[in-house]
Chains A and B, each alone.
Chain A
Amino acid sequence: MPDVNMPKLSDTMEEGKILRWLKKPGERVAIGDILAEVETDKANMELEAYDEGVLSEVRVKEGESAPVGAVIAVLAGADDVKPAARPASRPEPAPAPARAEPRPESGREPWRPTVVRRPEAAAEPEGGEAIKASPRARRIAREHEIDLRSLRGTGPGGRIVEKDVEGAIAAGGAAPKKEAETVSAPEAPPRGERRMELSRVRRTTAKRMSESKREVPHFYASSDIRMDEAVRLKATLADLGGEFEGITFTHLVLKAVGIALTRVPEVNASYDGDAIVLHDTVHVGIATAVETGLIVPVVHDCDRQPLGALVRQARALVERARAGRFESADLIGGTFTLSNLGMYPVSTFAAVINPPQAAILAVGAIRDVPVVEGSHVVPGRLMTVTLSCDHRIIDGVIAGRFLAELSGLLTRPLALVV
């Protein structure tokens, strides 16, 4: 297995930075192919392959540095490549990421449904034979109302592990439980109707949205925001590529929301019975349509991360979600939610709050409209956003202040990149 080393590009060079990899793990490499771009001082060097084979491992990530001579990648000879030989590039999901833990300050997990669960969901089967499952798999299964009896374990001795449960969630839920089957009992449906069993994701959405509309007193505040400069900014950044590759208006709004939430922290909050819980972190969920329904991957630290990093994080999350490969950690910890229908001819809509969060922002399409500037009518680009608020903890004035901050940030969007 030939190593690829950090090249010595100069007698005075001590370390080099990997700017980007042009080959990915698993890709075939021929002698003379460019593997990567390496930077030292103000020079970029294209790094050639001196051996052929398959890139089996990348040891230095893009943006990281390594000393001259260090092994930065490993090539496997063309023959000793097994189908499974793709280590290091995509490790197994960490068993217990810290961010998946319950938020201590709120006393309960933001994403756990608060409705009473059917007791069978977590109970052992009555038949007596115990289901072998890890505690974490049990917890995730319980939260997503997956019946462990319907899963086949891939852990040691057929034990059901976290991965199995996540697979079932991604696939739209496990086989329906007994009582669900009776609900869909095959009485022949009337002609002209089709009966579609609710997916797990859909079922969770149905319950949580009903709960929200029943329990949470919503009120709504809208604002028309001038997007002329934001449109130019997005076009420039899209041309730039690199970290901004694939940038969308959702990403710009995400960053603006992140900053606005730190300026009006009352909106970055949860209702907790006899207290308002203000969150120190700004984690914004993006409502995302997937095959099995609607899920909300959470982008972390939207206030602190630079725009480019947010674009990367949000794209990775949404891609994983759409491919059905999301992990439970992707979906928890949100303190606010963003729902953007701007890619459709939707000018304005009002979204249902995602409890226990205090508010959700609905974003419409950017429209070309006549705008009055002084004594002139000029062409302008407007986007209407609507904030749905939990009136138990947010008053109209707070909503107004939040929309003023958001509008200012998007109208003069330079603050989003500097």
Chain B
Amino acid sequence: MTRVLEVGLAGRVGYDVALAWQERLVARRLAGGADVLLLLEHDPVYTLGRSADARHLGAAVLGDVPVRRVGRGGQVTYHGPGQLIGYPVVALAAQGRDVHRYLRSLEDVLIAALRTFDIRSERRPGFTGVWVGSRKIASIGVAVRRWVAWHGFALNVGRDLDGFLPITPCGISGVAMTSVGREGGPEDVARVIPAVVSCFVEVFSYETTRPLDADVRMEPWPAPS
């Protein structure tokens, strides 16, 4: 059987809408549908993993940006424009049913994609995510339902990282965030997508890709400004 990855480019999507799409894509995968890589940008939102410490939200609890408790692993983070969100909906049965290995593979995808922009990044043992030196460039947190993984990764692309200021990202105090743009790469989310998709296909050994064929509303990606 050919291993197919369906790729959905969804543009800018509110957090709650994207969550509902993922639920449907997980149900579709459980019913025998294809693996999916959903790529999008979020409206500003702070999210906390199920066991995250709300104290890490800091002053964000008082702001206008919505806050959501979500069923992924990990601590507090920020999502907003200028960040590439990847929600892979992937059956881990084909990847050896090992959630830690899956987390490491997602890190491999982003490290490989960053290398195409001459950005040297790495993983840090014990701190899931992708790092450029001591600065964090991508966050990862997943959920698994009947061995289908969802949620995923957030790669900072634009130079504006002010959304992280009020919080303690990932529950690690003193962590500095960085982005593709700040490390000398492109500053537009749309220009990072091709590298991320091709590295995802390579790391997870898909044989072919096709556009997402599912009943989720798709909007054209905003043109790079």
CB of B98 within 8 A of CB of A9, answer yes
Cβ of B210 under 8 Å from chain A? no
Q: Which residues of chain B come closer than 8 Å to A10, judged between CB atoms? A: 98-101
What 1/0 flags go to A63-96 for Cβ under 8 Å of B?
1000000000000000000000000000000000
Q: Which residues of chain B come closer than 8 Å to A233, judged between CB atoms? A: 61-62
Q: Which residues of chain A come closer than 8 Å to B140, judged between CB atoms? A: 42
What 1/0 flags go to A321-349 for Cβ under 8 Å of B?
00000000000000000000000000000
* Chain B residues bordering chain A, tally (CB within 8 A): 35
Q: How far is the CA of A417 from the CA of B101 in the complex (A)?
A: 35
Cβ of B223 under 8 Å from chain A? no
**Contacts known (A233-B61, A414-B61, A417-B55); A241 close to B69, Cβ less than 8 A:** yes
Q: Which residues of chain B come closer than 8 Å to A242, judged between CB atoms? A: 50, 54, 69
Q: Which residues of chain B come closer than 8 Å to A237, judged between CB atoms? A: 54, 61
Q: Which residues of chain B come closer than 8 Å to A308, judged between CB atoms? A: 54
Interface residues of A in 345-367 (CB under 8 A from B): none
By beta carbon, the residue of chain A nearest B146 is A48
Q: How far is the CA of A37 from the CA of B151 in the complex (A)?
A: 15
Cβ of B57 under 8 Å from chain A? yes
Binds B, one of A12-20, A255-263, A372-380, A392-400: A12-20
Q: Which residues of chain A come closer than 8 Å to B58, judged between CB atoms? A: 414, 418
Cβ of A236 under 8 Å from chain B? yes
Cβ of A244 under 8 Å from chain B? yes
Cβ of B7 under 8 Å from chain A? no
Q: How far is the CA of A418 from the CA of B54 in the complex (A)?
A: 8
Q: How far is the CA of A17 from the CA of B74 in the complex (A)?
A: 12
Q: How far is the CA of A235 from the CA of B68 in the complex (A)?
A: 12
Q: How far is the CA of A162 from the CA of B177 in the complex (A)?
A: 58
CB of A240 within 8 A of CB of B143, answer no
By beta carbon, the residue of chain A nearest B75 is A42
Q: Which residues of chain B come closer than 8 Å to A236, judged between CB atoms? A: 61-62, 67
Cβ of B94 under 8 Å from chain A? no
What 1/0 flags go to A213-245 for Cβ under 8 Å of B?
000000000000000010011001101111110
Q: Which residues of chain B come closer than 8 Å to A46, judged between CB atoms? A: 143-146
Q: Which residues of chain A come closer than 8 Å to B71, judged between CB atoms? A: 37, 44
By beta carbon, the residue of chain A nearest B70 is A44
CB of B62 within 8 A of CB of A240, answer no
By beta carbon, the residue of chain A nearest B61 is A236
Interface residues of A in 283-317 (CB under 8 A from B): 306, 308
Cβ of A98 under 8 Å from chain B? no
CB of A240 within 8 A of CB of B48, answer yes
By beta carbon, the residue of chain A nearest B166 is A414
Cβ of A40 under 8 Å from chain B? yes
Number of interchain pairs (Cβ within 8 Å): 109
By beta carbon, the residue of chain A nearest B72 is A44
Closest-CB distance, A101 to chain B (whole angstroms)? 33
Cβ of B102 under 8 Å from chain A? yes
By beta carbon, the residue of chain A nearest B73 is A42
Cβ of A276 under 8 Å from chain B? no
Q: Which residues of chain A come closer than 8 Å to B55, judged between CB atoms? A: 306, 417-418
Q: How far is the CA of A10 from the CA of B54 in the complex (A)?
A: 28
Out of A11, A44, A232, name the residue touching B100 (CB < 8 Å).
A11
Q: Which residues of chain B come closer than 8 Å to A63, judged between CB atoms? A: 51
Q: How far is the CA of A34 from the CA of B72 in the complex (A)?
A: 16
Out of B51, B101, B146, name the residue touching A11 (CB < 8 Å).
B101
CB of B143 within 8 A of CB of A44, answer yes
Q: How far is the CA of A193 from the CA of B72 in the complex (A)?
A: 62
Q: Which residues of chain A come closer than 8 Å to B57, judged between CB atoms? A: 417
**Contacts known (A44-B144, A418-B58); A240 close to B69, Cβ less than 8 A:** yes
Interface residues of B in 124-168 (CB under 8 A from A): 128, 140-146, 149
CB of A41 within 8 A of CB of B62, answer no
By beta carbon, the residue of chain A nearest B96 is A11
Q: Which residues of chain A come closer than 8 Å to B212, judged between CB atoms? A: none
CB of B62 within 8 A of CB of A12, answer no
Q: How far is the CA of A41 from the CA of B101 in the complex (A)?
A: 11
Closest-CB distance, A251 to chain B (whole angstroms)? 13
Closest-CB distance, B72 to chain A (whole angstroms)? 6
Cβ of A115 under 8 Å from chain B? no
Q: Which residues of chain B come closer than 8 Å to A232, judged between CB atoms? A: 61-62
Cβ of B49 under 8 Å from chain A? yes
Cβ of A196 under 8 Å from chain B? no
Cβ of A171 under 8 Å from chain B? no
**Contacts known (A242-B69, A414-B58); A41 close to B50, Cβ less than 8 A:** no
Q: How far is the CA of A414 from the CA of B54 in the complex (A)?
A: 11
What would 20 A/B residue contacts be, using CB atoms closer than 8 Å? A34-B145, A37-B71, A39-B50, A39-B73, A40-B73, A42-B72, A42-B74, A42-B128, A43-B100, A43-B102, A44-B73, A44-B143, A46-B144, A48-B146, A233-B62, A237-B54, A237-B61, A239-B66, A306-B55, A414-B62
Please give the residue numbers on chain A whose beta carbons come within 8 Å of chain B beta carbons, in ascending order. 9-13, 17, 19-20, 34, 37, 39-46, 48, 63, 229, 232-233, 236-237, 239-244, 306, 308, 414, 417-418
Nearest 4 interchain pairs by C-beta: A10-B100, A42-B73, A43-B99, A42-B128
